[in-house]
């Protein structure tokens, strides 16, 4: 029998009481503050998003605090803090009656979808205290709460360690990628139009089908689907405009559809390995277009910018070596079926499974 089972048998063998959130916590609205009227400092300002809106020099909550974002795209997002913060366009929740704030946070994170479902409003969604204050949560005795927090903290700490390792690996990958792909006059340089066919697609986003047969590349990192294709080739895809210009790249082999404002680059020169060029573009294209892009409401790429993009062409053996090294790094850092991303996803699923299991109690009935 596990320690958790022993605690259940000792303290609540017949079940636990379920109580309304408003009866077992202190719930407070935030205080209005704008970046313009604040002094920059070290304290996170918790507002309507999933990240701090900015940092200021004052705080209005300290120690353990749960926050629920009040409005915007992140309305309803639940976070746990154990540091001084300034709660702005959000509201805070703290445990009372000897109930652990961290335990209540895990209960609320287990109800995240239900909290998101309380959003109201048209253009700008809102979540209010009144939206969730009558939600009920199980309240086992304190020793059981402490054991649940201990178990779930172990899962979250492991996930955090893996995420930190992944961040470090990605920085390492980018460093070695840029190092491997830095060349001088020792190699031949060509412009992209000399080694590739460049063009755009003819599809619109409204042609997407959820279960479409072929990949459909648009102007985002997300790959959509479509039942018809425009090209059957090996190509590098990049966004022609929008927020992802110079940062969004796809490597495709086979049939695919393409948005009318996304570019395809099909290498036609047998002195250049397409995968080598893909890695080179990921390394060097953003700095290049930042110097020469057109700015209006969004950044956009014009065809001459692509045509004139300079590309180093080392010997094929060297290109093959670079591709082999970067393929291994890429799998470790980005492959969702192997490497660190797959391990993080597996740990997250494991955490969610045990969180659901640990927070499912038989309710004591009067």
The pLDDT tens digits of the residues spanning 188-243 come to 999 999 999 999 999 998 999 989 999 999 988 889 999 999 999 999 999 988 77
- For the entire predicted model, the pTM comes to 0.68
Enumerate residues 6+ apart whose C-beta is below 8 A from 12.
140, 141, 144, 361, 364
Mean pLDDT of the chain: 91
Report the candidate in 235, 196, 242, 198 with the shortest Cα–Cα distance to residue 218. Answer: 242
CA 59 to chain centre: 27
Using a pLDDT cut of 70, give the percent of the chain over it: 97
For the cut 90, the answer to whether the pLDDT of residue 335 exceeds it is no
Decide if pLDDT at 298 tops 50: no
Q: Give percent of the chain above pLDDT 90.
A: 64
Please write the tens of the pLDDT for every residue from 112-146.
Answer: 999 999 999 878 899 999 999 999 999 999 999 99
Residue 250 has pLDDT above 90, yes or no: yes
Question: Would you state the pLDDT for residue 337?
Answer: 64
Which one, of 317, 226, 219, 303, lies nearest residue 265 by Cα? 303
Summarize the confidence of residues 49-73 as an average pLDDT: 94
Distance between CA 264 and CA 229 in Å, rounded?
13
Domains of the chain listed by start with CATH number? 17-139 (3.90.220.20), 184-313 (3.90.220.20)
Residue 294 has pLDDT above 60, yes or no: no
Q: Is 90 exceeded by the pLDDT of residue 27?
A: yes
Contact call for residues 297 and 198 (beta carbons, < 8 A): no
The HSE-up count of residue 100 (CA atoms within 13 Å, CB side) is 18
Confidence of residue 274 (pLDDT cuts 50, 70, 90): very high
List, for residues 151-191, the tens digit of each pLDDT value. 999 999 988 888 888 888 888 888 888 999 999 889 999 99
330: CB partners within 8 A, 6+ apart: 173
293: its two tokens: 């892009």
Token duo for residue 47: 């507002």
Contact 192, 307 (CB under 8 A): yes
Residue 341, pLDDT score: 79
Residue 172 has what pLDDT? 87
Given this model, what pLDDT does residue 244 score? 76
């Amino acid at each position: 029998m596990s320690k958790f089972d022993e605690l259940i048998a000792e303290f609540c063998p017949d079940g636990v009481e379920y109580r309304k959130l408003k009866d077992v916590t202190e719930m407070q609205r935030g205080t209005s503050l704008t970046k313009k009227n604040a002094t920059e400092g070290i304290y996170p300002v918790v507002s309507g998003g999933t990240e701090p809106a900015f940092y200021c020099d004052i705080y209005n909550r300290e120690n353990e605090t749960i926050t629920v974002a009040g409005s915007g795209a992140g309305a309803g997002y639940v976070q746990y803090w154990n540091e001084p913060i300034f709660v702005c366009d959000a509201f805070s929740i703290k445990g009372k009656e000897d109930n652990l704030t961290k335990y209540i946070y895990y209960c609320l994170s287990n109800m995240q979808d239900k909290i998101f479902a309380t959003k109201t409003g048209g253009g700008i969604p809102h979540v209010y205290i009144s939206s969730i204050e009558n939600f009920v949560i199980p309240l086992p005795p304190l020793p059981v709460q402490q054991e649940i927090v201990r178990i779930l903290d172990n899962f979250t700490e492991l996930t955090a360690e893996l995420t930190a390792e992944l961040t470090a690996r990605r920085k390492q990958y980018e460093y070695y990628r840029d190092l491997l792909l830095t060349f001088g006059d020792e190699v031949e340089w060509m412009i992209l139009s000399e080694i590739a066919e460049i063009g755009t697609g003819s599809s619109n986003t409204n042609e997407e089908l959820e279960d479409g047969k072929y990949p459909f590349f648009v102007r985002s990192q997300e790959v959509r689907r479509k039942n018809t294709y425009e090209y059957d080739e090996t190509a590098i895809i990049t966004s022609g405009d929008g927020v992802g210009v110079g940062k969004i790249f796809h490597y495709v082999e086979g049939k695919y559809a393409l948005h009318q404002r996304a570019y395809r680059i099909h290498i036609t020169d047998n002195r250049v390995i397409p995968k080598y060029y893909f890695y080179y573009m990921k390394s060097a294209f953003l700095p290049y277009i930042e110097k020469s892009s057109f700015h209006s409401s969004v950044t956009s790429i014009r065809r001459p910018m692509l045509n004139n993009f300079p590309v180093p062409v080392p010997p094929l053996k060297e290109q093959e070596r670079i591709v082999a090294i970067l393929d291994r790094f890429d799998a470790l850092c980005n492959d969702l079926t192997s490497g660190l991303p797959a391990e993080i996803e597996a740990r997250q699923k494991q955490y969610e499974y045990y969180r659901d299991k640990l927070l499912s109690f038989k309710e004591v009935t009067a």
